[in-house]
């Protein structure tokens, strides 16, 4: 069975609790769990020896004390790096996590949104999720059309969302036109995706309505202010990702309580 959305707009912690804490680390995921958000998003790349690891950027300098590209390093080399000190000395010693370690940490505690940063990670990611028996606890994003098709062929029970391709984003930058809406929706249907995963700046009521009428879902990122959160909930989006779940969680709770009174 695939992942099932909650009845309310869900809140996702981007890279864990990445606002105040080092992203994609054990600590950031644990904090997201403690905050009670609906899901945590993490980013997946491959080491040189083909092991899926959590890393947003293609290079190591931004979030570790290492140098060079993630895929140029063996897992043993990556595991020796400090992925916490860049955020503050109190976070020193946080290691880079493998995808399997993240799945073990989250299993039956919080669902994970796995944002694939390279199509090369598809096979290893699907295998890791299947081995952990977490098909119903994981959503895959970061995918263009071909990536969605590949995942759907390998594991039809995994929920996969369609991000904007480079060409589709260029079309979106001209505004939320009917042409963009029709093209994106057609691509989503043809790929077999369960919904769209889109920057909130490209969303409007017409797109949300069209996606829902097609029986698909709307996931959006990255929202860090309460007025925009309220606006998007009013549009009826299914999922909102934020860097600051500790700030957005109370606002979301108020919205849910207003719409779903006990």
- Tell me, yes or no, if the pTM score tops 0.85: yes
- pLDDT score, position 258: 82
Give mean pLDDT, residues 209-232: 98
| Consecutive H or E run containing 111 | none
Give mean pLDDT, residues 117-141: 98
CB contact at 8 A, 243 and 224: yes
Band of pLDDT at residue 255, cut at 50, 70 and 90? confident
Q: Which of 120, 179, 172 has its CA nearest to residue 147? A: 120
- d(CA 114, CA 206) in angstroms, rounded, equals 28
Band of pLDDT at residue 82, cut at 50, 70 and 90? very high
Is 257's pLDDT higher than 90? Answer: no
- d(CA 73, CA 70) in angstroms, rounded, equals 6
CB contact at 8 A, 204 and 183: no
Tell me how far CA of residue 253 lies from CA of 2, 81, 123, in angstroms. 25, 37, 37
- pLDDT score, position 256: 83
| Consecutive H or E run containing 259 | helix 245-259
Which residues have C-beta within 8 Å of that of residue 8, sequence separation ≥ 6? 256, 259, 260
What the chain holds in terms of domains, given with CATH numbers, is 10-259 (3.20.20.190)
pLDDT over 90 percentage in the chain:
95
**Measured over all CA atoms, what is the biggest interatomic distance in the chain, rounded to whole angstroms?**
53
- d(CA 116, CA 185) in angstroms, rounded, equals 21
Average pLDDT, the chain: 97
Q: What values do phi and psi take at 89, rounded to 5?
A: -60, -25
- pLDDT score, position 260: 65
Q: Which of 68, 47, 197, 223 has its CA nearest to residue 125? A: 47
Tell me how far CA of residue 107 lies from CA of 40, 96, 210, in angstroms. 12, 18, 34
Residues 136-194: pLDDT tens digits?
A: 999 999 999 999 999 999 999 999 999 999 999 999 999 889 999 999 999 999 999 99
- pLDDT score, position 262: 62
Tell me how many degrees the CA angle 246-252-256 measures, rounded to the nearest 5. 145
Is 222's pLDDT higher than 80? Answer: yes
Q: Which of 14, 25, 16, 13 has its CA nearest to residue 86? A: 25
Give mean pLDDT, residues 109-136: 98
- pLDDT score, position 42: 99
Is 261's pLDDT higher than 90? Answer: no
């Amino acid at each position: 069975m695939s992942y099932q959305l909650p009845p309310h707009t869900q809140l996702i912690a981007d890279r864990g609790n990445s606002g105040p804490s080092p992203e994609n680390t054990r600590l950031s995921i644990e904090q997201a769990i403690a905050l009670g958000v609906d899901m945590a998003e993490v980013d997946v790349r491959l080491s040189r020896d083909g092991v899926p690891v959590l890393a947003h950027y293609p290079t190591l300098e931004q979030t570790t004390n290492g140098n060079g590209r993630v895929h140029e390093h063996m897992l043993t080399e990556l595991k020796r790096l400090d992925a916490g000190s860049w955020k503050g000395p109190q976070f020193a010693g946080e290691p880079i996590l493998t995808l399997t370690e993240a799945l073990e940490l989250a299993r039956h505690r919080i669902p994970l949104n796995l944002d694939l940063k390279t199509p090369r990670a598809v096979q290893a990611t699907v295998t890791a999720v299947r081995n952990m028996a977490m098909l119903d606890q994981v959503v895959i994003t970061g995918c263009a059309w071909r990536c969605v098709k590949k995942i759907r062929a390998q594991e039809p029970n995994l929920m996969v969302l369609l991000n904007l391709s480079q060409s589709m984003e260029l079309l979106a930058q001209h505004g939320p036109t009917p042409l963009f809406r029709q093209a994106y929706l057609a691509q989503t249907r043809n790929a077999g995706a369960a919904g769209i995963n889109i920057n909130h700046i490209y969303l409007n009521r017409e797109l949300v309505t069209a996606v829902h009428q097609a029986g698909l879902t709307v996931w959006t990122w990255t929202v860090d202010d309460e007025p925009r959160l309220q606006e998007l909930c009013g549009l009826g989006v299914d999922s909102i990702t934020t860097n600051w779940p500790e700030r957005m969680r109370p606002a979301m709770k108020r919205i849910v309580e207003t719409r779903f009174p006990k």
